Structure 1
Amino acid sequence: MTQAKPQQLLAALGETIVGQEAVTQALVLGLIAGGHVLLEGPPGLAKTLACRALAAALEGQFKRIQFTPDLLPSDIVGTRIFDQRQAEFTTSFGPIFANVVLADEINRAPAKVQSALLEAMQERQVTIGPHTYSLPDPFIVMATMNPLDADGTYALPLAQMDRFLLKVNVDYPSAQEERVILERFAFADTPLRSGAATLNDVLAWREEAHAIYLDEKLKAYIVDLVGITRNAAQRDIVGEHLIDRGASPRATLALAFLSRAKALLESRDYVLPDDIRSVAPLVLRHRLGLNYRVLTENLDPEAILSSLIEAVPAP
């Protein structure tokens, strides 16, 4: 059987999702790079639909977890149940055991529930009672969150945000795109394209991405991009004390992973500086600890991030 290309998966998502190219591309990049994706935006912008479309296109197992204030960690990972007839405990597996897991409105659940999910994301295994179980491979979590000014939301700590490989800000569609949505889906169910790729294709893409050439100068460029988030004040780039905490070394690794994935998506066997620049906002936007002045003075975090990226010359 001929191996599918990641471009075919991207095209399959485009048949379901109108517009939102940044979202669909980010999902495919995250899948190739083997990381988890955080989507932030108001309700109704096809975040959930995009995740369902990805699972359908891969013919993988899809599970959705609706995060609520009364959710328990066992509702995610599973629990041990005593069977009175057999006089023994049996294991009930939670929805985390799937290839594509949608954590819907992750910031509506308290910290202990968020931690249970994020621990599973990091370790790719969960412990239920005395036993440890590996999660399926490939395994990707796509979490959606509402803006923090929405009612009933809890802020995700930076240490937990760092577990996500990338973050996408989901915007409203253009007027033209919204017209297409109206004409295409007003009286019909949204079609989900299936069979665009297989789970084995995804594993093969990851091996191909790992083999893509990343020049030493580009490795230094990645290190400089992450480093500037830690000393921006000293270099007087975005003003004094706007960034309390810079990105961790996880960001360095994420830039390398995603730039290789971007090169693969562009059908190249080498990384260009533009690949790194294009994925840098996805990697860095959720890893910066911005000062309270950014909120009180109504400053634009995306503009701050752009200033940092532009301040580092590409090789």
Structure 2
Amino acid sequence: MADYSIYDLGDVVLQSGATLRAAKLAYKTYGTLNTRRDNAIVYPTWYSGQHYENEWLIGEGLALDPNRYFIIVPNMLGNGLSSSPSNMPEPWNKARFPKVTPYDNVRLQHRLVTEKFGIETLPLVTGWSMGAGQTYHWAALYPDMVQRILPFQGAARCSRHNFVFLEGVKAALTADAAFEEGWYDAPPTRGLRAMARVYAGWGFSQAFYREKLDIEAMGYASLEDFLVGFWEGIFLPRDANNLLTMLWCWQHGDISKNEFFQGDFEKALGAIKAKAFVVPASTDLYFPPEDNIHEVRHMPNAELRQIDSIWGHFAGGPGTSPADVKTLDDLLKELLAS
């Protein structure tokens, strides 16, 4: 049995102008919503991840404690559980699935939170990587609703350098002849493996590899064992069209690209009222701290709380570095107590 629920949203006109037919948002909740409906935390998923892969920060005694908070984990469009190329009926499936943005995701998540649960205020929105991008969108689009945010290892918009990295990922995946321009019947495994190899050079830092933490800390037998077991292991089970949908969404993330801010990035940052801890990792190759430093300068109630770590993008990420996860959990506790 599925361990998540589905919220039916009907036909939704997307930011692109396309219609997402019979849109469905998959989500899981942890804990109980109190009678005042003021203990809810929204914790969006990350690139390729599904709700259960967010659970490393949820648990008794942690900041995201289900005994205290009602934690909502909405699955991103395109991740295989919410409306995605892999689960849409013809003719909108596979390569015909419409383009979706973080704005589209958060707009539908807001409907889930308000329509399904009747929630009017959120003590916290937090997320890792693409989840951080959605966190920024929540705070900019719904400033009177969101009290606190903690985006970690992410950014309010996709940088040009990050865009180029993702072009390399996309090229590796789609170069497989078995991809068939998105109309494959069997997974394009060669492309998925190639994509994983491209990703491997960016997810962890140079120092991580120099110190051989793949072997010394993660227990892999060799570098090749790590590339196969960890990186290919992440992407081979995923659907290629789903990955490309989320990749396009990542590339087009920008909290100012909407009718409210008309492309004025600093204006969008200035609209965020929430108390914010913005948490980069010192060696993150996707989202370098410099991008977050610029953001914090334009956010009226934000602090930069950098994690100094050689674990790169995975510092505080899905359970890979326990010390960094502890640092992140402590920051979440401090912010929630403020």
- One fold, TM greater than 0.5? no
> TM-score by structure 2 length?
0.25
Structure possessing the higher radius of gyration over alpha carbons: 1
> TM-score by structure 1 length?
0.27
Q: Looking at both structures, which has the greater relative contact order when contacts are Cα pairs under 8 Å and sequence separation is at least 6?
A: 1
